[in-house]
Structure 1
Amino acid sequence: MVVKKLPDLTALENQRVLVVGLGLTGIALTRFLVGRKAKVTVTDQSGEDRLGTYPEECRRMGVTLELGGHREATFKSADWVVVSPGVPLTIPAIVAARKARVPVTGEMELAACYIQKPIVAVTGTNGKTTTTALLGEMLKKSGKRVFVGGNIGSPLIGHVDQGRPMDAVVVEVSSFQLDTVHTFRPHVGVLLNVTPDHLDRYPDLMSYARAKGKLFENQTKEDVAVLNGGDPIVREVTESVRSRRLFFSGRSGKESGVTLAGSRILLEGISKAKKDTDIRPGEGFNLEGTYFTGRYGQENAAAACLAALSAGATHEGIQTALNTFKGLPHRLETVGIINDVRFVNDSKATNVYSVLCALEAFASPLVLIMGGRDKGSDFTLLRDGLSRAARKIILIGEAAGPIRKALKGVVPMEDATDMVAAVNAAFRAASPGDVVLLSPACASFDMFLNYAHRGEKFREAVEVLS
């Protein structure tokens, strides 16, 4: 199939642009495109009753709406199509557009065309939101004006639309966003890890991994790739990158990067890899007393240090950010302590590997609340970790049956119909000193609007208990 060359995305006036998906990214795209006098149509599979105030806002902007389904004719007649991250590229209408040689791209590609300042982009299966936020703080504490967004918080196109002056742009990037990039080139790219996830959307693990690896495909020798050398899949998909490689884990003797030594991040070969830095050979950073206690948290911190240095942060700014960072909502967030039972919200743990990381973060016995919408995960990978750490599992959502089957005989399990029932059951099963941990290993969309909504419902249920 031959697809027309992607149009000049900076020449939008009178272009017939179809926006697919009317969520947070879709409405931001629509505002941007209308502001640049494109002829915009927005389509969404959902009906208007599920899209909040966005349809009415589109009407006020004079945008054509096609809701409750996708019309292939509209896709095929567009000058180009811009897809929101949550929309699979395999839906029939997008396939039809490509067969009709209509260019298809995404929000990240469009936004990057308008950004002149260095882009620092973070991806990976787990840890990317915390790493992105920490990295932004490191640059801010170094005196830089920084936008932090992308797959975390505000869409990148919204930053472009506002036109605020920045010294650097830090973005979290998902594999879905990378599926639609063509020329996107971050000055610093970070790949934290690749573990099985989104296998309901990708045919196999390596297809998913290669999507992550697209982060580096347009980099040059002037750019930097910050990599997990201890992850063989990361090694494989970044073997041929043209950029300078720095390793925050699994570094061999000749490679530049860091070594983790207890609570210290020791810099190795950075003086050769980064010019004009205030870092001297043998220096590093101290994690003692910081938020970053477990191995996975320390690796994320090390990755952020390397990326921040590469983007021009100072040693003082980086250490100050490490000292003051308190974590993010829905990521190992303590939301209450009742009768010496600690309740922890890890709703962002939407895959098995995230739960394994969470299990390693606690020395106390756990009562685990898990379940939701399965993404093709292998829950048997949790058996060993749960046998060591968990007292009981409370199951919620569509995946309760598959999880029960995969974990049969490991620890006692109990079903709950909703979050309130799950929290009550977990509290009954817990003893003083235990942790009740919401770490679902699944998507949230069977019972909740998103992972944040799920985490808030957990918090509310805990508050009722107290």
Structure 2
Amino acid sequence: MFTHQHFAILGAGRSGLGAARLARLKGAEVTVFDEGDPAKIQGALDKLHAENFHTVAGQAARELVVKPGEFQRVIISPGLDAGWPLPKKFTDAGVPLEGEMEFAFNLTDMPMVGITGTNGKSTCTELIAHIFTACGKRSVPCGNHGMSLSEVVSSGEPYDVLSLEISSFQLETIKHFRAKASLWLNFAPDHLDRYPGMVEYYAAKARIFENVTANDVAIVRAGETVSSGAAKRLTFSAYGMEANATYSQGEFFIDGQRIGDASAIPLRGKHNMENILAAMMACHVHGVPYADALAAVASYEVPKHRCELVRVLNDREYINDSKATNLHALEACIGAMDRPIVLIAGGKQKGLDYTPLRAELKGQVRAMVLIGEIKQPLHDLFSDLLPCRLAADMNEAVRIATEISQPGDSIILSPGTSSFDMYTGYGQRGEAFRTASNALG
């Protein structure tokens, strides 16, 4: 298909490796470029070299001069902005640019469910893949979560339906992408270190519905104002709003019919009940009965770092919600709990406005322990509402939280921002909380 063509792949990470494999599989010559420090991305480079891909990294990539006609296509990984200097070297030389997800989408006819939203994407993506698999349809969570779409397509595995998590970064570069069922879980401020403002972030996310047709279905949280284009619009809510699918007093209803109850569901919180509603509706579009979908959820294993119960000690719950990397996720965690909370929050400065959190804290949160780069600004913002303590690291934060808590409380790590000031990612931060919690006597 791409014989005698030379493709540039931008980004040496998982998406870049997947795109390189897929381009080569289709006959292209491939070179992978990454401006990162070769010492820091050596692991990724080693994987590429093991498969005999040519790479250009670090200073060599930064000093690259792209000649017209040298490359026939450039495939960009979602972590890179098309307006950054390296991608612009190719587009300024007239090389057509394509996003990794769009590239893979155009090379497969496998059906897929597309999932976007500020929060809950990964849980919903995993739920959908789990339901499909439990109900006899081969599926896999992929895209922005798990394998990249290029990895899945290049593997040659014949999946019945893909469960595809889609970030705003991936949607920036779509041209033809569409899914038979597209999910909009929610929208809240995030990634303002990538976008000029909320308008641009919203516009990127809303592109999930850009190419839908009347034969497609848009599954949208009730109350969200996003346009779902030509698709049939279905809504869901666990917060008392009128919708096609609802959760109320422990029971699930779709189109007025009771589907079942939550007694066997391992997930916690209303926000997760909404994930279940959206997942059931998406799977139903692909032929799975609602009752079968709900029954499958009972065998779903709750992932780490998402409202995960680590332990109970002296009638105190220790809950790891390290994946709450923005304000909306933090608010969702607080709203989902039915016990008083001692909250451990803070981390990287992302330019977010935490003032709206003041209303959420009243009544539910007993005290806060603050960590990371933004701990002092958060202390200044909230200390007039409730007791706030500062901690130097996670061990100290858990110790202080335990000291100021009472029996019956939940001690929750739900940072409300990313972790890169102190950790390599939310996973390492969550493991630090788990270790500190389990070390308590």
Q: Which of 57, 65, 68 is the aligned partner of 1:73?
A: 65
Deviation of the 1:259 alpha carbon: 3.5
Q: Which residue in 2 is equivalent to 1:277?
A: none
Distance in 1 between the 2:290 and 2:377 partners?
Answer: 48
Aligned residues: 437
1:368 and 1:394 in contact (8 A); partners too: yes
1:159-218 CA distances to partner (integer Å, 9 max, x unpaired)? 112111111111111111111111111111000111111112112222211211111111
Q: Which of 255, 259, 266 is the aligned partner of 2:253?
A: 266
- CA RMSD after TM alignment: 2.3
Q: Which of 116, 130, 136 is the aligned partner of 2:109?
A: 116
Distance in 1 between the 2:13 and 2:398 partners?
Answer: 30
2:269 and 2:333 in contact (8 A); partners too: no
Q: Which residue in 1 is equivalent to 2:178?
A: 185
Distance in 1 between the 2:89 and 2:43 partners?
Answer: 30
Distance in 2 between the 1:428 and 1:304 partners?
Answer: 40
Distance in 1 between the 2:209 and 2:64 partners?
Answer: 33
Deviation of the 1:291 alpha carbon: 3.3
Show structure 2 runs of 5+ residues with no match.
none
Q: Which residue in 2 is equivalent to 1:8?
A: none
Q: Which moved further from structure 2: 303-312 or 321-330?
A: 321-330
Deviation of the 1:61 alpha carbon: 3.2
Distance in 1 between the 2:398 and 2:200 partners?
Answer: 37
Distance in 2 between the 1:401 and 1:73 partners?
Answer: 45
The one-letter code of the counterpart of 2:373 is E
Deviation of the 1:35 alpha carbon: 3.9
Q: 1:322 aligned to 2:308?
A: no
Deviation of the 1:91 alpha carbon: 1.4
Q: Which residue in 1 is equivalent to 2:51?
A: 61
The one-letter code of the counterpart of 1:51 is I
The one-letter code of the counterpart of 1:215 is I
Q: Which of 72, 77, 93 is the aligned partner of 1:84?
A: 77
Deviation of the 1:223 alpha carbon: 1.1
The one-letter code of the counterpart of 1:167 is D
1:342 and 1:434 in contact (8 A); partners too: yes
1:251 and 1:258 in contact (8 A); partners too: no
1:251 and 1:257 in contact (8 A); partners too: no
Q: Map residues 2-401 of structure 1 onto 2, 5 A cutoff.
A: 11-69=1-59, 70-74=62-66, 77-231=70-224, 235-238=225-228, 241-249=229-237, 257-268=244-255, 282-401=257-376
Structure 1 residues 170 and 370, CA gap change in structure 2 (3 angstroms)? same
The one-letter code of the counterpart of 1:177 is Q
Structure 1 residues 131 and 442, CA gap change in structure 2 (3 angstroms)? same
2:195 and 2:201 in contact (8 A); partners too: yes
Distance in 2 between the 1:103 and 1:223 partners?
Answer: 29
Give the match's secondary structure for 2:257: coil
1:142 and 1:317 in contact (8 A); partners too: yes
2:318 and 2:411 in contact (8 A); partners too: yes
1:142 and 1:314 in contact (8 A); partners too: no
Distance in 1 between the 2:166 and 2:435 partners?
Answer: 30
1:22-60 CA distances to partner (integer Å, 9 max, x unpaired)? 222222223333444422222223212212422123233
1:65-92 CA distances to partner (integer Å, 9 max, x unpaired)? 2222534524975322222222223312
Distance in 2 between the 1:48 and 1:93 partners?
Answer: 16
Deviation of the 1:157 alpha carbon: 1.4
Deviation of the 1:297 alpha carbon: 2.0
Give the match's secondary structure for 1:442: coil
Identity fraction in percent: 34
Deviation of the 1:428 alpha carbon: 2.4
